[in-house]
Amino acid sequence: MSELTEKQIKTRWVDIKKQIKERPLLAYRVGIPLEAWDSYMHSTPSSNEVNRIYSEIQEDRKRKTLRIKEALSKIVGYRESKEFSRKSGVSDTIIRDIIEGKKDMAGYDVINRLELFLHVTMPDFELSLENPLSIKQYTREYIGEIAGQIDSTADRLKQYCFKLSEMSRKMENDTDWQGNTVEPTHTLNHIIGRLSDLKEQIDSYWKIYVDKK
Which one has a higher pLDDT value, 3 or 1?
3
pLDDT of residue 71: 92
Give me the mean pLDDT over the 180-204 stretch. Answer: 90
Task: Read off the pLDDT of residues 41-51 as tens digits, 9 standing for 90 and up.
Answer: 999 999 999 99
Q: Which 3 state secondary structure label does DSSP give 45? A: coil
Task: Give me the percent of the chain exceeding a pLDDT of 90.
Answer: 54
pLDDT of residue 210: 87
Most confident of 62-66, 86-90, 135-139: 62-66
Which residue type does 54 have? Answer: Y
pLDDT of residue 165: 92
pLDDT of residue 9: 94
Q: Which 3 state secondary structure label does DSSP give 84? A: helix
Q: What span, in angstroms and rounded, lies between the C-alpha atoms of 143 and 106?
A: 24
Task: Read off the pLDDT of residues 78-134 as tens digits, 9 standing for 90 and up.
Answer: 566 777 787 788 888 999 899 989 999 999 999 999 999 999 888 889 999 899 888
Mean pLDDT taken over the chain: 89
pLDDT of residue 181: 81
At residue 113's C-alpha, the angle toward residues 121 and 111, to 5°, is 110
The pTM of the full predicted model, rounded to 2 decimals, is 0.79
pLDDT of residue 30: 92
**What does R_g of the chain's alpha carbons equal in angstroms?**
24
pLDDT of residue 144: 94
Using DSSP bridges, classify how beta strands 174-175 and 181-182 pair: parallel, antiparallel or unpaired: antiparallel
Q: What span, in angstroms and rounded, lies between the C-alpha atoms of 112 and 68?
A: 10
